[in-house]
Structure 1
């Protein structure tokens, strides 16, 4: 697994309407903004920054409720999170950007691209779906495990079981998989904030507006993803006008971490117009 040796060129707290959002910027070039998923913070991009920062000004940030950003009492909505993103871009004087969202961050990226098309150059949606009636749901037992609280098992054992929804067993048995557990133990998300983020994602519904996304769009799904099954990615490709779909064989929800090299190669080729 790659380790990011990069130090942010700029980082801090952006004072938005009613809360502060943590951000960090790396590199130089056209703007690329990375939107994280449920329950993670800026460390999710550690393996990607060495690929992107030589070519782009990369902005990472923590969604409301995660990492170093404020964690107001819920409920949260995806619309709120997209509003936070708009205010953050204005604060950082970013008039237009490439936008990449993973999982819940893909919902935020869709909402933003639909409502603010003039701000998005190219759009990347990974491990995400359309929401609403068009969304292919996870199985009930998968949801139960995702929301389970530690009881008979130790927190580390339960965390490993949850991470097997996102990563293959081979990966979780490797030093890289152990690193994923350590990162989450070091940066625990308050239960209430996790549930507020999850609830926001559960009611997201812009499937009828996908035709209004004007940015060229790359959609990627893990073939074995039990959290956001790949039919969701196919639906996005069928309903976003200028889009293409890439199925990542053999991998689960966080294919973009487990095979960061392939993911970054596909994203770089797309953003550079290939």
Structure 2
């Protein structure tokens, strides 16, 4: 059974950082790229790999500064993460793929699908907002996030980071992630450019997600021609981990 294990992958040096990735599955299978959310790593998707693994050649990437990837000296933006992903795909000689992106990973997917030389067949995003203005109601909450508050509330993510990262600096990682979440500039959220997304898009949202509102999800659906909005009942921001069977059922064969 396919599973991301942080043992079987490799690092790619790009743009001042070392980006860790793993590939599982055969070359005759269609490629599915999985992009995780903030403070996470590729193992966050292991709960659904039993469904995806037999059908796909899966590529997991630890985003810059997280998991086994180093942060480098240039800070963190969604644009930079997207460029890292492109470098990995180029190194792997991937030309055609689908993407499943969660939260920050989904925001990166919105950017990739519009500005990339690769053929992206379809995209699924989970709990991934699309416009900086939608973060304004969350600004105060984000500004209150500190390394200590995150360690206290989510100790498992801190412990995983400390165990995996080759150059851990949790204080700096926290600062750069919060800055990225609140970035209103051109290197951050795609904003109205999402109207340029041409491939089929499934926008997935947990029914109780407190970070990606139902209104924001519906606004995105209206802007993208080939978009479908799917709500996973009884789940929060991370429905694929909370209720993996319900999540896969909600996908309803899209992938």
- TM-score of the superposed pair, with normalisation by structure 2: 0.85
- Contact in 2 for aligned 1:62/1:69 (Cα 8 Å): yes
Q: 1:265 aligns with which of 243, 246, 249?
A: 249
Residue of structure 2 in register with 1:27 after alignment: 25
Residue of structure 2 in register with 1:185 after alignment: 159
Is 1:159 aligned with 2:133?
no
Secondary structure of residue in 1 paired with 2:189: coil
| Distance change (3 Å), C-alpha of 1:192 and 1:68 | same
- CA–CA distance in structure 1, aligned partners of residues 112 and 127 of structure 2: 17
State the 1:136 CA deviation: 5.5
- CA–CA distance in structure 1, aligned partners of residues 71 and 85 of structure 2: 15
Per mean C-alpha deviation after superposition, the further-off stretch among 183-192 and 87-96 is 183-192
| Distance change (3 Å), C-alpha of 1:210 and 1:182 | closer
- CA–CA distance in structure 1, aligned partners of residues 117 and 197 of structure 2: 7
Residue of structure 2 in register with 1:251 after alignment: 235
- CA–CA distance in structure 2, aligned partners of residues 237 and 52 of structure 1: 25
Structure 1: 5+ residue runs without aligned partners?
161-180
Is 1:143 aligned with 2:123?
no
- CA–CA distance in structure 1, aligned partners of residues 147 and 33 of structure 2: 33
Secondary structure of residue in 1 paired with 2:113: helix
For the aligned residue pairs, the C-alpha RMSD in angstroms reads 2.6
- CA–CA distance in structure 1, aligned partners of residues 142 and 227 of structure 2: 29
- Contact in 1 for aligned 2:36/2:101 (Cα 8 Å): yes
- Contact in 2 for aligned 1:74/1:196 (Cα 8 Å): no
Structure 2: 5+ residue runs without aligned partners?
163-167
| Distance change (3 Å), C-alpha of 1:7 and 1:262 | same
Q: 1:201 aligns with which of 181, 189, 209?
A: 181
Secondary structure of residue in 2 paired with 1:32: strand
Residue of structure 1 in register with 2:92 after alignment: 92
Secondary structure of residue in 1 paired with 2:114: helix
